[in-house]
Structure 1
Amino acid sequence: MSTISIRAAVYLRVSLDRNMDGLAIDRQRDDCLKIARDRGWQVIEEYVDQSKSATDKTKKRPAYDRMVADYEAGNFEAIICWDLDRLTRQPRQLEDWIDAAKDRGLKLVTANGEADLTTDGGRMYARVKAAVAVGEVERKAVRQSRAQLQRAQQGRAPKGTRPLGYATSGEVIAHEAQVVAEMFRLFAISNGTPIAAIASALSGKAGAEAPRSIPHLPKFSRTLMIERNERRMAEGLDPKPVPPDGPWTSSTVLGILRNPRYAGYSVYTNRSDRSDKNKRRNWYAQIIRDEDGQPIRGQWDPLVDELTWLTVQERLNDQTRITNRTGSTARKHLGSSLYLCGICDRPITAHSRGYRCSEGGHVTRSRPHIDEFVLQLIRERLARPDLQDVLPVRDEPRLLAIQAEIRERQGRIKRAQHDYDEEITEAHDFRRIRDRQNAAIADLEAERLRLSVGNDLGGVLGASEPVKAFDDADLAVKRRVIDFFCTVRLLPAPRGRKGFDPSTVAVAPK
């Protein structure tokens, strides 16, 4: 085969093009095309991966993958790249190209000179260069990780993309911080606002489940890009395209609720732990601790208190929520799982336009009249002059003590489970410990609910016009107010009698 007939591919790559202006790629292209002209080779196609790492084997390089497929199809016989590490930093990938050179005569040329993979000397050179490149990357990663760990141990804000509510320096961004605090408050309270409803409110979507206390915010990726463009223009650079506004996702809200930084904890993510599938454990593992095992506090103002953050984590970890197939904990109807069956005392569920007993089908009732009847009773209770007498008082020290005791008793259950798994204790001993601790935890949870319920009611009880505040509240708040004042039981409707009979709705004050 004559030299002039050789078909060549040009591969161009830069790991990180911060300015995304393509100048680095252009410099590589000029050098590679000069090589093709000097050798008289025909460049059949250019393959460009811009801001694509060749070090991380989990990262996709679309142009590289397409080039591999085209070579396998016989589209070219030579590859020109600026340097060998532009082509690959993975020894395994390099071995594939060495096999191609040995078996099919692939020619590989770099701007630093020809890497002849058909000779033992050329292959040794390529392997050594690839190994050196990997070593340099690993040493750099160690230095960076050590610096990040040191920052975290000093309680300094991590570098990188800022979280909602904080500037990169760790300073609080007031209007965002208020939204974050409200997200935690709404999710922490008993029967709290679902993640999907919070995402809907942030997206500006109206609905019964969307809390009115959370304002619409532009999608965070859009806000970050606008801020980056402001910095670029201040440096005399052209702005990059700004993504359009769009809906917030539940996964974004979940990431905010999981983040320990909002409780003032200093955090560090060890890259070696990222393979751990237990994401719930990873969030706790991010918290940096001192030699005594105590969490290190960050040099920034927390947006939520420790108790609220821990309460949110417990609710997120709840197995009944985690195993929900739809991922939604939203209640669409006022009485769903709030009203009880008047026969078996089990929760009532909603279906179509009615309610029915979730167990034995003892009760099936039409929904609208029942809901309006219950709402009117609550309005009458809220209008009474003695409303202030029922306002609960929050005891913060006791709440913290309850939280600590719950964690301690949960730890006892885990230790008992471990001893049973290791065959140190018998099954009956494990059950005895578990049942006793669970009973104590249930009592503590009930006490915590009584102490924190004032925050559950969306400010309705303390409002200047409680009835109006109740009517203006979202569905989740209305349900909590009802649950605070009374227990509602539905009885079967009398046969043959038309219309709504209030006597079939038993409302017992709490």
Structure 2
Amino acid sequence: MTSQQQRAAIYARISSDLSQEAAGVRRQIEACRELAAQENYEIVNVYQDNDISAMNARKLRPGFEGLMAEVTRGRLDAVLVWQTSRLVRSRPDRARVIETFREASTSIVPVKGPRMDLTSAYGRLITDLMTTFDTAESEVKSERVIAAAAQRAADGRPASKLGFGWRKGADGAYEVDPGEAEVVKRIINDVRAEVPLRAICRALNAEKVPLPRSGVAWQPVTVRSLVLRASNVAQRVHHIGRPTEVFYEARWPPLVDTRAWEEACAVLKSPDRFTRVQRGAPRKWLLSYGVGVCGVCDGPLRGKAMKDGRTPARPTYQCDRRGCVSRGLLQVDESVRAAVIARLSQPDVVAGVEAALARRQDDDGAAASKLKNVEVKLEDAAVLYSNGTITALQLATISDSLVPERNRLAALMPTSAPSGLSAVLAAAGGIEAVWDVATVVERHALLEELGACVTILPTGGGRFKPATLTVEFAF
């Protein structure tokens, strides 16, 4: 590095990369390198986030966080980007970047746009204004997409391909696929008769019935998802699983009778079918029922050993409510381990957790009372359904609203697992050694003390992506 050269890093990002080839970020990096050569910058590091949106500040961008850490340490004179929108899209990130770069005397140098000196008030003003337009551009686009999706739902059109049970006719409209429709009817009737899902799968696999999607065998989660689709009765659902959920009449023919579908849904959603870890029973999975949640429907995760008939069992975490997500257990647990070690390495954690544990003892009695009330309501709903006072769909709606609250309250109840976070932090050999020799029960108890929430987000397939896993701590 000559005396005139300044130290710089390159940051590149693209929101959507369906091919997963990272061609977009490579083009951005090449353009930044050309600018660095022209402006006499020494590139000391390159950070990138491929296939990750920057609109949600709570969504982890590994490359962005690495860049921010290097800026915070005062190691960079400038950060080169293709456009400011590649670095900042959300309001929280904008404020964070402006303040962090100001303190570190780091400039933003876009390939397309003026250099931004954040050490001056005028430079911060220009940066704020330009990145505000970037945010507005994304928000306006998002509003258009949301409005179009809402109109599509109100028109009764599917969000994407309709799926198993239908096919497109000569006129382009959806029509019933007789063979697939018979499979759906059969499954729904079996569920109404309370045939176990695994038994249904065994029969379908033995008969070599084609699968709804790629795979080698029918699985209970596949059967469950197939049954619970409102599209089976020509209903289009918008904002499924949200407080703003709404149903519209669909533009495709139904596969089954509405009453039969409601009865099958009631069977699958019945509180009696809910599986939970028994108090005092050995815990097998680190994140099941309590710490891990589905990033789509907020349902609990369950552990499962997957077998495809060709390879040894591969343990995974799956969404237990709708099967929205599935991720390899080993990669997830390793990511959680790294996050816990990083959190416990911070000096403020001990005092914060111990104070929170003291407060939590005062809340246990209130939570136990609320849990009892919710369980009584679930029992009352089951009695009303058995008496014919409410319909199967009403029972399912009541269950959907109460079961998540019951699960949340149950997770708050004190367990017999050991606490002793202070002892873990003080143990000889370091935090890593303590975690590695701990049992699953002990590790889970530690996650609870930290107020951990592990969210698994959907992915487009392929290899494990750390960005699709978020680990948040209350302490």
Length-normalised TM-score, structure 1:
0.49
| Cα distance between partner residues in 1 of 2:151 and 2:268 | 30
Cα deviation for residue 129 of structure 1 reads 2.5
Distance 1:300 1:214, change over 3 A: farther
Report whether the alignment pairs 1:440 with 2:440.
Answer: no
Kindly report which structure 2 residues correspond to 1:82-93, keeping only aligned pairs within 5 A, or say none: 82-93=82-93
Kindly report which structure 2 residues correspond to 1:277-426, keeping only aligned pairs within 5 A, or say none: 285-288=245-248, 296=249, 298-325=250-277
Partner of 1:62 in structure 2? 62
Report whether the alignment pairs 1:192 with 2:186.
Answer: no
Distance 1:29 1:444, change over 3 A: closer
- Answer whether contact 1:182 1:213 (CA < 8 A) is retained: no
| Cα distance between partner residues in 2 of 1:439 and 1:163 | 34
DSSP 3-state at the match of 1:53: coil
Cα deviation for residue 252 of structure 1 reads 4.2
- Answer whether contact 1:13 1:49 (CA < 8 A) is retained: yes
Cα deviation for residue 314 of structure 1 reads 1.2
| Cα distance between partner residues in 2 of 1:444 and 1:29 | 59
DSSP 3-state at the match of 2:388: helix
Distance 1:86 1:171, change over 3 A: farther
Partner of 1:471 in structure 2? none
Distance 1:443 1:314, change over 3 A: closer
Q: Structure 1 counterpart of 2:160, which letter? A: G
Q: Structure 2 counterpart of 1:255, which letter? A: S
Give the structure with the higher percent strand.
Answer: 2
Q: Structure 2 counterpart of 1:130, which letter? A: T
| Cα distance between partner residues in 1 of 2:60 and 2:216 | 26
Cα deviation for residue 134 of structure 1 reads 2.5
Distance 1:83 1:183, change over 3 A: same
Partner of 2:159 in structure 1? 159
Report whether the alignment pairs 1:179 with 2:183.
Answer: yes
Distance 1:263 1:198, change over 3 A: same
Partner of 1:262 in structure 2? 232
Distance 1:268 1:80, change over 3 A: same
Cα deviation for residue 85 of structure 1 reads 0.8
Partner of 1:215 in structure 2? 209
| Cα distance between partner residues in 2 of 1:199 and 1:59 | 37
Q: Pick which of 20-29 and 42-51 moved more.
A: 20-29
Distance 1:58 1:303, change over 3 A: farther
| Cα distance between partner residues in 1 of 2:382 and 2:31 | 74
Cα deviation for residue 249 of structure 1 reads 5.2
- Answer whether contact 2:106 2:117 (CA < 8 A) is retained: no
DSSP 3-state at the match of 1:287: strand
Kindly report which structure 2 residues correspond to 1:473-488, keeping only aligned pairs within 5 A, or say none: none
Distance 1:256 1:28, change over 3 A: same
| Cα distance between partner residues in 2 of 1:201 and 1:3 | 75
- Answer whether contact 1:152 1:267 (CA < 8 A) is retained: yes
Partner of 2:120 in structure 1? 119
DSSP 3-state at the match of 2:247: coil
| Cα distance between partner residues in 2 of 1:44 and 1:316 | 56
- Answer whether contact 1:179 1:214 (CA < 8 A) is retained: no
Distance 1:37 1:434, change over 3 A: closer
Q: Pick which of 127-136 and 298-307 moved more.
A: 127-136
Cα deviation for residue 60 of structure 1 reads 2.8
Partner of 1:140 in structure 2? 141
Q: Structure 1 counterpart of 2:129, which letter? A: V
Cα deviation for residue 172 of structure 1 reads 4.3
Q: Structure 1 counterpart of 2:32, which letter? A: C
Distance 1:184 1:440, change over 3 A: closer
- Answer whether contact 1:32 1:81 (CA < 8 A) is retained: yes
| Cα distance between partner residues in 1 of 2:154 and 2:50 | 35
Cα deviation for residue 57 of structure 1 reads 3.1
Kindly report which structure 2 residues correspond to 1:69-88, keeping only aligned pairs within 5 A, or say none: 69-73=69-73, 75-88=75-88
DSSP 3-state at the match of 2:238: coil
- Answer whether contact 1:77 1:106 (CA < 8 A) is retained: yes
Partner of 1:478 in structure 2? none
- Answer whether contact 2:12 2:28 (CA < 8 A) is retained: yes
Kindly report which structure 2 residues correspond to 1:229-244, keeping only aligned pairs within 5 A, or say none: none
Question: Which string of whole-angstrom CA distances, capped at 9 and with x for unpartnered residues, describes residues 446-495 of structure 1?
Answer: xxxxxxxxxxxxxxxxxxxxxxxxxxxxxxxxxxxxxxxxxxxxxxxxxx
CA RMSD of aligned residues (A): 3.7
Q: Structure 1 counterpart of 2:154, which letter? A: Q
Cα deviation for residue 30 of structure 1 reads 2.6
Distance 1:118 1:248, change over 3 A: farther
Larger radius of gyration: 1
| Cα distance between partner residues in 1 of 2:383 and 2:27 | 72
Partner of 1:385 in structure 2? none
- Answer whether contact 1:54 1:89 (CA < 8 A) is retained: yes
Report whether the alignment pairs 1:26 with 2:29.
Answer: no
DSSP 3-state at the match of 1:49: strand
- Answer whether contact 2:71 2:100 (CA < 8 A) is retained: no
Distance 1:439 1:250, change over 3 A: closer
Same amino acid, percent of matched pairs: 24
Q: Pick which of 103-112 and 159-168 moved more.
A: 159-168
- Answer whether contact 2:71 2:104 (CA < 8 A) is retained: no
Could you list the runs of 5+ residues in structure 2 that have no partner in the other structure? Answer: 279-372, 393-475
Cα deviation for residue 25 of structure 1 reads 2.5
| Cα distance between partner residues in 2 of 1:443 and 1:89 | 48
Distance 1:182 1:108, change over 3 A: same
- Answer whether contact 1:182 1:214 (CA < 8 A) is retained: no
Question: Which string of whole-angstrom CA distances, capped at 9 and with x for unpartnered residues, describes residues 327-357 of structure 1?
Answer: xxxxxxxxxxxxxxxxxxxxxxxxxxxxxxx
| Cα distance between partner residues in 2 of 1:186 and 1:52 | 42
- Answer whether contact 1:201 1:216 (CA < 8 A) is retained: no
Aligned residues: 289
Question: Which string of whole-angstrom CA distances, capped at 9 and with x for unpartnered residues, describes residues 74-131 of structure 1?
Answer: 5544211111110121121122221222211112111112122222222122222332
